[in-house]
Amino acid sequence: MISRILKTLAVGMSLALCAPAQAANPLDGATLRVVIAHKAGNTTDTMARLFAKTLEKYLPNTSINVQNLDGNGGTLAMQEIHEARGSLVTIGFVNSSVVFSQATQGEELPYDIKQFHWLGALSSSQRVLVVRKDALDRADPRKSNTGAKPLVSLTMSASAQNHVDGLLLNALTNLRLKMVPGFKTDQQNAMLLAGDADAGIGTYENFREFIEAGDMVPVLKFGSVGYPDSLASLPTLDDVALPNAPSAVVSMSKELSDMGRFVLAAPATPDSEVAALAAAFDQVVADADYLDGLRKANFVGTPANSAVVTAFITDLLGNEDALKQLRAVIACGQQISDGARQVCDHGSF
């Protein structure tokens, strides 16, 4: 009897020793630094922190530290992530302004976004143009507004996403906006409510309370997915673009809005760690608690994985004709913002 028991135990131990050990995650024991290219409390910050909290579930042996690095349309954060080396594993949450910066500034930037490892995209940015009620008569994108007083719209910097969006609207539609940089988001909202500005561009969630209170009226949306049902009939940029507006630029704006919020890893990140991060991304965006958190924060998840986003960025930045058109459109939009309407008004790029 005892001999049979001993024999059974021996066989069991032998099988256990021969069984393949579970492969260790390359991120076990590592410190993961999460850089958010926006201020605390921003919609992207809210989504990034929810993502990072859920990520702890799938990287239990990794220490995760979150920091905000706002400024200059995301270029400060991008430079910080680009220079990341050593034992820290660094990823970042950015929006589509970094793509516009790459397309328009190119070699002036201290980095090339094609060098980064694109882990995925989280959600549509839900970008909208809103105006005050007393400015609605100047905010019809289908009606010529060349003789009307321009809509004043405040931004943080000339490379900020809402600034670039305003220039695109100037060049691609009948809208006329005076883009004024130098204001933080809280200042932009306060001055818009006070009547010191006429229009605002940003995420729907940023303006939701103002819209629901009747202080602001949404005029158009930049993308096509991730918006609340209440905006289903709101025209898109594609709907109101001028007949001769470059279709490649209109499409680019829509796709970037629909991709929305990107997650990327530093260029120096080893391939094994990139693969582990990409796998963890896929797990988080399918996680029930994460999706519930998005709903509670009034967000709609529209994730795209690493392969999809990498192909999108590569194709976009490899289309030199479209990038040339984009640069011309932005330059035209700036001229219109400055009051030089005769130079490139109505799509004469």
CA angle (309 as vertex; 51, 278 as ends), nearest 5: 50
149: its two tokens: 């007083």
pLDDT on residue 154: 97
Pairing label, strands 151-154, 177-180: parallel
Question: pLDDT band at residue 13, thresholds of 50, 70 and 90?
Answer: very low
What are 54-88's pLDDT values in tens digits?
999 999 999 999 999 887 667 888 999 999 987 88
Question: pLDDT band at residue 349, thresholds of 50, 70 and 90?
Answer: low
Strands, E, within the chain: which ranges?
Answer: 31-36, 63-68, 88-94, 117-123, 127-132, 151-154, 177-180, 199-203, 216-221, 262-265, 301-305
pLDDT on residue 4: 47
Contact 30, 39 (CB under 8 A): no
Whole-angstrom Cα distance, residue 135 to residue 274?
Answer: 48
Nearest to 111 by CA among 120, 99, 121: 99
Mean pLDDT for all residues in the chain: 88
Partnered with residue 264 across adjacent β-strands are 92, 118
- How far is CA 335 from its chain centroid? 26
Does residue 346 register a pLDDT over 60? no
If one compares 148 and 193, the residue with the highest pLDDT of the two is 193
Question: pLDDT band at residue 29, thresholds of 50, 70 and 90?
Answer: very high
pLDDT on residue 185: 86
pLDDT on residue 182: 93
Q: Within 10 Å of residue 77's Cβ, how many Cβ atoms? A: 23
Domains of the chain and any CATH numbers: 31-123+260-318 (3.40.190.150), 127-256+323-347 (3.40.190.10)
- Residues 304-320 as b or e (16 or more Cβ within 10 Å = b): bbbeebbebbeebbeee
Question: pLDDT band at residue 343, thresholds of 50, 70 and 90?
Answer: low
Kindly state the average pLDDT of the residues 228-245: 94
Kindly state the average pLDDT of the residues 91-104: 88
- How far is CA 112 from its chain centroid? 17
pLDDT on residue 347: 52
pLDDT on residue 118: 97
Contact 172, 249 (CB under 8 A): yes
Kindly state the average pLDDT of the residues 112-136: 93
Q: What percent of the chain has pLDDT over 90?
A: 66
